[in-house]
Amino acid sequence: MCSLSRAVITEFVFLCLSPEALVINDPDFQHEDLNFLSRSQRYEQAIRKSSLMVMKLREYGIADPEEIYWFKRTCLGNFIEPFGLHFSMFHKTIETQTTDAQKKKWLPLVRGVKIIGTYAQTEMGHGTHLRGLETTATYDPATQEFILNSPTVTSIKWWPGGLGKTSNHAIVLAQLYTQGQCKGLHAFIVPIRQLGTHEPLPGITVGDIGPKFGYDEMDNGYLKMDNFRIPRENMLMKYAQVEPDGTYVKPVSDKLTYGTMVFIRSLIVGDSARSLSRACTIAIRYSAVRHQSELKPGAPEPQILDYQTQQYKLFPLLATAYAFHFVGAYIKDTYHRISGDIHDGDLSELPELHALTAGLKAFTSWTANAGIEECRMACGGHGYSRCSGIPDIYVTFTPSCTYEGENTVMMLQTARFLVKSYNQVSSGQRVTGMVSYLNDLSRQRIQPQHVAGRTEAVRINDPVSLVEAYKARAARLVEAAAKNLQAELNHRKSKEDAWNRTSVDLVRASEAHCHYVIVKLFTAKLSEISNAAVCAVLTELCLLYALYGISRNAGDFLQAGILTDTQITQVNQRVKELLAVIRPNAVALVDSFDFHDVHLGSVLGRYDGNVYENMFEWAKKSPLNKTESVSLFHQSKQNCKSCHSGLY
Amino acid sequence: MCSLSRAVITEFVFLCLSPEALVINDPDFQHEDLNFLSRSQRYEQAIRKSSLMVMKLREYGIADPEEIYWFKRTCLGNFIEPFGLHFSMFHKTIETQTTDAQKKKWLPLVRGVKIIGTYAQTEMGHGTHLRGLETTATYDPATQEFILNSPTVTSIKWWPGGLGKTSNHAIVLAQLYTQGQCKGLHAFIVPIRQLGTHEPLPGITVGDIGPKFGYDEMDNGYLKMDNFRIPRENMLMKYAQVEPDGTYVKPVSDKLTYGTMVFIRSLIVGDSARSLSRACTIAIRYSAVRHQSELKPGAPEPQILDYQTQQYKLFPLLATAYAFHFVGAYIKDTYHRISGDIHDGDLSELPELHALTAGLKAFTSWTANAGIEECRMACGGHGYSRCSGIPDIYVTFTPSCTYEGENTVMMLQTARFLVKSYNQVSSGQRVTGMVSYLNDLSRQRIQPQHVAGRTEAVRINDPVSLVEAYKARAARLVEAAAKNLQAELNHRKSKEDAWNRTSVDLVRASEAHCHYVIVKLFTAKLSEISNAAVCAVLTELCLLYALYGISRNAGDFLQAGILTDTQITQVNQRVKELLAVIRPNAVALVDSFDFHDVHLGSVLGRYDGNVYENMFEWAKKSPLNKTEVRKPYLVGLNDLWSPVGYF
């Protein structure tokens, strides 16, 4: 049971050195602790840092949007910037959805930051369901202008990042009306503030939506438009067009947006891995520093990481973080591979990747979300201090469960694909890819056996065999959901009603499918690791991930006859054994994530373990400590003296 | 399927009108939204409100610590006050642990708020494990003083509320050294700031520990003492004493602190119920206001509360909130009943209540903690805005999982009692109370059957039968944990090692025990409700609570043979049916919690449902909207952006 070094794991598992080295020692990026600043101060700091970052990107020659994204996330920690949407959605949309003439006009302004823009889609009353958006853009052929309106309170644009105070332009999604007809959602470039004075334009009401759980640095905004006119040419016209006389020209195809969604959701899977890794790093390092209670009377207090209950909280999360890293890398690679095909016009693999990414986005973000808080609470009282860094990780990460597709909606998207695939199999077709296990269902149905009643027993110490177990569980839950859906359809008229009344089952099926995919990808990764010692440790983590999942979902595996009662007992026992096996390598495994102290932003998670002295130094900087006597306190105390005498 | 009115449920279930009526319309308690203030401003507001509250307590004649607690929690919403520990722990400790002479000196100062105090126990390096505290109080007979020291960084007192800036005194827990010997932890009254100037005294380093996840209003503090001397009389001497020459006199008994812990933990169970109820109120009301997507093409967007997935998120939590209310009331009643016995010297029921309360504190606070966040996320994007009120509920509630006994430690305390009871049964004794189901285990062992292999099948629509199912699960998991513990003991020498290596199983056993107790108490409550319609709705909630728990822990019930595969499928189906059955009464069920808008503090959860207009009004007040132009931004823009593009 040797303890591996961090460098070995980093080298053989992540196969690269972190790009953090680029800016880690750059004095420009040293900054004071944002926790001590007010929200307005944090906003101002972020603006400053954004400007710096752009200069650095130029200096290092980083230009690709994906590289920019990784640079920001990995090199700048959880850096949130009000300009964020200018460089991503605003720039990208103008680049991809405009005509050549529009490009010529707008791109220099965007690239030269003569204007600053954001992307305004969601409204106060409407999020996920795009068709429900209420903002209107009515074409007036007399002046060749669009008249933009927010006809109701619920139609006010709400949430876009950088909209409140930073941007002077926005791409606005609105229902297009021309020649008396609604043509659906289209995008328009809308100036919202006067260049130079930065005052809102007449007809525009714009501002910050107020404090949030996190994202203090971001001026998420609202935008209300009252008969605000923009030239016809401000509609993004690469696909659909409105001619000067108001004639609407339909777009050829809109399937390409699929690809962008897959890309963004794959980034969120990566975020889930990274955010959970950060929290695990803090909690596991601190658990090796913190001593508490006694295991043996009279002996020194042990490290809390030696408590089985602490290991049981943290090591499955550590295994999960590794699993999600591999899943994120897989989706990214698959996306890039398929992207090539898409450019050649081959969209055949896109639906499955799209469906899979939706579910994995939800699965990984939900798991990481709960896991980060588990890590915080595993740090005891100090986890609650902002100096632990985990509250920040949590409030920054948790919106991932909602944005870019609310998680339950995502799970149901995956379910739709699973049911479709199941129905294809039922009607005699074969399906391919990650859902190909559904092909086996029809074969099994011929026999009078239980769906998953397999002759071959699961070997609980063999990851490959556990992949089969997860596969059988997914198959069973997809089939159960599909059958329940059919039963509802047989009883009712409406397809939508039946879908709604089965949606709990459908989500469970999607979760089981995603869980299978993750175990499968983790297991597949093992064979790629050439260093035997690293491979052994990773195999233990993979086993822990798979067995812990079985233990927590034992009902599914029992009910389908995939595992026996006795095997479940063995699984529970084996999970406890694995905790002890992983213990000696736990700290090296989190060190391998290679987060530098400055980006981890945690006193508890310091690499040198010098927690307590630094916690004291940190606390001394609290703004409340700037004065010894609080004047208002004295006033109140006077009040109290008078009000208190003889109270009790 | 009639929809009940809120008043009917409130009257028949909670049996009382909320005390909120007392201050709800009091203009003094109207306050601006704290979300728009900086931490320093929030602290100042809290000091102001504390002073007001004390006047109100006097006005209404509220003096009992428990009543004060409820007044603060229920009437003032999630009000956090820097003076909090002065009125609770500081006052109570001085009242109960001092001699008559000490009382005479200190009580008038405390009651008249001539001094402001807090209770300093935890240290930077030490929390749950009290014996590990490092602060020392060394008696010097020459001057008849104690010399207080924080000998290491880890020994710095850390976290006590109101310690940082507000208090000028603290009760400090320290290891007592006299005549060269350590006599263990004792409590001392320590002045820390100069009366008048409020400057820290020489030898005292004191301050705020910095920003936290929540509790912005509270100056949780640190305290470092360097050879700080206090008179001998500042040791709390009701039980143990140090005589002028340094002779230590042992205390008679220290079992009484048990009672206080039970009391405080029972309050946390009530907090779990209340905090989860608040989050449910917001999420369920908002889900009735929010419309989204389409169930039927062309039809108007339905309320999101009509989506089964939304119901599946929220209704089990609603049922849980009701369950926890009943559990909280049960513990409170039992505590008061037993308290009488304790005064009469009968401590026989205390160990079980103590063990049960520890586990229930952990079970309810963990569940409520996760549930509050589930409610927030069920509100979609707007849940993330501070205007939803849920972030505040969460950050204020979540420390409950850690303070007054870290939850895992609590679960293991309960487990210790369960294992002890199991061993008693194994050795032929009978046990009583909530663990009496363990008596059945020995009977079953005689037969060659499976432990829980019962002849009588579980009826999934009968709460009483479900209580039996939960009982069987608890029995099985307690037995499994006890056997695993024994197996470890057989393999190893050390008792502590064996305990540690079984602790995951022990926690599971405790959870199952608590879950059983909750289902049992919820079911028992049903028969007490006299209104038939209300009883019917509550029965649905109780069934949902019990069946949802089975569905989520199906493995336990299957493995023990308590339910069959087919029954589990039926349970899953029945849970979905119950969601639809509860839907018409869902809003009335949260309205019955009777939180007024001003205390709910949520734009999304407004009683009138007028969410969107008010969200817009709220946002306009954001401090960032005070100016149209952010100067630093424009400066940055002009200085830093070259006209040449980078991409």
The model's pLDDT over A388-403, given as tens digits with 9 standing for 90+, comes to: 999 999 999 999 999 9
What separation in angstroms does the CA of A501 have from each of A495, B15, B317, B618? 10, 36, 19, 37
Q: Indicate if B150 and B275 belong to the same structural domain.
A: no
Give the CATH number for residue B266: 1.20.140.10
Chain B hits for A644, Cβ within 8 Å: 54, 111-113
Look at B642 and A127 and tell me if their CB atoms are within 8 Å. Answer: no
Chain-centroid distance of CA B169 in Å reads 27
Active-site residue, selected from the candidate residues A404, A488, A540, A577: A404
The residue out of A551, A573, A591 marking a domain boundary is A591
CA dihedral B351, B355, B356, B362 (to 10 degrees): 160
Which pLDDT value is given to residue A197? 87
Q: Is the pLDDT of residue A74 over 70?
A: no
pLDDT tops 90 at residue A142: yes
Token pair, residue B109, equals 């100062």
B404 catalytic? Reply is yes
Q: Which domain holds residue B96?
A: 91-250
A506 in the same domain as A412: yes
Instruction: Please report residues of A whose CB lies closer than 8 A to that of B636.
Output: 47-48, 50-51
Residue B84 maps to a domain: no
Name the nearest CA neighbour of A306 among A113, A587, A30: A587
A493 vs B241 pLDDT, higher one: B241
End-to-end CA distance of chain B: 63
Question: What's the confidence (pLDDT) of residue B96?
Answer: 86
| Residue B336 touches partner A, C-beta closer than 8 Å | no
B181-220 residues touching A, CB cutoff 8 A: 197-200, 207-214, 219
A205, closest residue in chain B (CA to CA) = B620
Q: What are phi and psi of B241, to 5 degrees?
A: -135, 155
The predicted pLDDT at position B22 comes to 54
Final residue in a domain of this structure, among A46, A79, A112: A79
**CA-based nearest distance B479→chain A, Å:** 13
Q: Do A295 and B500 touch (CB under 8 A)?
A: yes
On whether residue A317 sits in a domain, the answer given is yes
Query: Element (H or E) spanning A618, and its range?
Result: helix A611-620
- By three-state DSSP, how is residue B206 classified? strand
- Structural domain includes residue B181: yes
> Which position has the token pair 């989860």?
B276
Encoding tokens for residue B641?
Answer: 């952006």
The answer to whether A609 is annotated as binding is no
- Contact between B145 and B116 under an 8 Å Cβ cutoff? The reply is no
Does the beta carbon of A634 lie under 8 angstroms from any beta carbon of chain B?
Answer: yes
Rounded to 10°, the helix A350-378/B350-378 angle is 140
pLDDT at A608 exceeding the cut of 90: yes
CATH of residue A72:
1.10.540.10
pLDDT tens-digit readout, A77-128: 667 888 888 888 898 899 889 999 999 999 999 887 889 999 999 999 998 7
What is the spatial distance between Cα B500 and Cα B415, in angstroms, rounded to a whole number?
Answer: 12
Residue numbers in A near B569 (CB within 8 A): 480, 559
Q: Which amino acid is at A553?
A: N
pLDDT number for residue A627 = 75
Residue A494 lies in a domain: yes
pLDDT digits (tens, 9 = 90+) for B78-125: 678 888 888 888 988 998 899 999 999 999 999 888 899 999 999 999
Residue B38 Cα, gap to closest chain A Cα (Å) = 6
Residues of chain A with Cβ-Cβ distance to B389 below 8 Å are none
Cβ contact B558–A556 (<8 Å): no
CB-CB under 8 Å, A408 with B632: no
* Same domain (yes/no): B102, B220: yes
Q: Using the beta-carbon criterion (under 8 Å), do B384 and A399 form an inter-chain contact?
A: yes
Which chain A residue shows the shortest CA-CA distance from B382?
A: A124
Looking at the structure, do residues B233 and B294 belong to the same domain, yes or no? no
Task: Determine, yes or no, domain membership for B44.
Answer: no
Q: What percent of chain A has pLDDT over 70?
A: 86
State whether the Cα torsion B545-B546-B551-B555 is positive or negative: positive
DSSP bridge pairs for A222: A158, A207
3-state SS, residue B447: coil
pLDDT beneath 70, residues of chain B: 1-4, 7, 9-31, 63-66, 69-71, 73-78, 253-259, 342-343, 442-455, 628-647
**Residues from chain B contacting residue A156 (CB–CB below 8 Å):** 616
Q: Are residues B173 and B238 in the same domain?
A: yes
Q: Which residues of B touch A557 (CB under 8 A)?
A: 555
The pTM for the full model equals 0.93
Is the backbone of residue B511 left (phi > 0), alpha (psi -120 to 50) or beta? alpha
Distance between CA B310 and CA B315 in Å, rounded? 8
pLDDT of residue A641: 42
Q: Do the domain assignments include residue A642? A: no
Are A43 and B385 an interchain contact pair (Cβ–Cβ within 8 Å)?
Answer: no
DSSP assignment, residue A131?
G
Domain tally, chain B: 2
Nearest to B645 among A111, A641, A645 (CB): A111
Chains A, B: CB contacts under 8 A, how many? 394
The mean of the pLDDT values for chain A is 88
| Alpha-carbon gap, residue A600 to A590, rounded angstroms | 12
Question: Same domain for B280 and B222?
Answer: no
Q: Decide which of B190, B218, B250 is a domain's last residue.
A: B250
| B285 and B199 within one domain | no
State the pLDDT at residue B255.
57
**Per-residue pLDDT for A227 more than 90?**
yes
A290 in the same domain as A339: yes
On whether both A351 and A397 belong to a single domain, the answer is: yes
SS3 at position A509: helix
CB nearest to B127's CB, from A309, A381, A565: A381
Q: What is the per-residue pLDDT for A79?
A: 72
> How much is the average pLDDT of A217-227?
96
Q: Residues A519-553: pLDDT tens digits?
A: 999 999 999 999 999 999 999 999 999 999 999 99
Angle between helices B39-60 and A631-644 (to 10 degrees): 0
| CATH classification at residue A240 | 2.40.110.10
Residues in B touching A633 (Cβ below 8 Å): 44, 47, 165-166, 198
Residue-wise pLDDT for A188-216, tens only, equals 999 999 988 889 999 999 999 999 999 99
Write the pLDDT tens digit of every residue in A344-367.
Answer: 777 778 888 889 999 999 999 999
Mutation target for A interface from B129, B615, B627, B638: give the one with most A CBs within 10 A: B615
A444's CB contacts (< 8 A; 6+ apart) are A451, A452, A453
Amino acid at B517: V
In terms of CA atoms, which chain B residue is nearest residue A115?
A: B637
Chain B touched by A256 (CB under 8 Å): no
B611 inside domain = no
Residue B75 forms part of a structural domain: no
- Are residues A197 and A298 located together in one domain of the fold? no
Would you call A306 an interface residue with chain B, using a CB distance cutoff of 8 Å?
yes
| Model confidence at A170: pLDDT above 60 | yes
Q: Are residues A193 and A229 in the same domain?
A: yes
Task: Find where tokens 């009662």 sit.
Answer: A565
Domain check: are A350 and A215 in the same one?
A: no
**CB A95, CB A124: distance < 8 Å:** no
- Mutant choice from A39, A294, A392, A504 vs B, greatest count of B C-beta within 10 A: A504
- Label residue A629 by pLDDT band (50, 70, 90): low
Complex ipTM, two decimals?
A: 0.92
Using CA atoms, how far residue B173 sits from B155, B223, B409, in Å, is 11, 12, 21
C-alpha closest to that of B288 among B619, B600, B594, B584:
B584
Which DSSP helix (H) or strand (E) runs through B572?
helix B565-582
For chain A positions 475-504, those within 8 Å of chain B (CB to CB) are 480, 494, 496-497, 500-504
Residue A142 near residue A184, CB atoms below 8 Å: no
User: Do the annotations mark residue A566 as ligand-binding?
Assistant: no
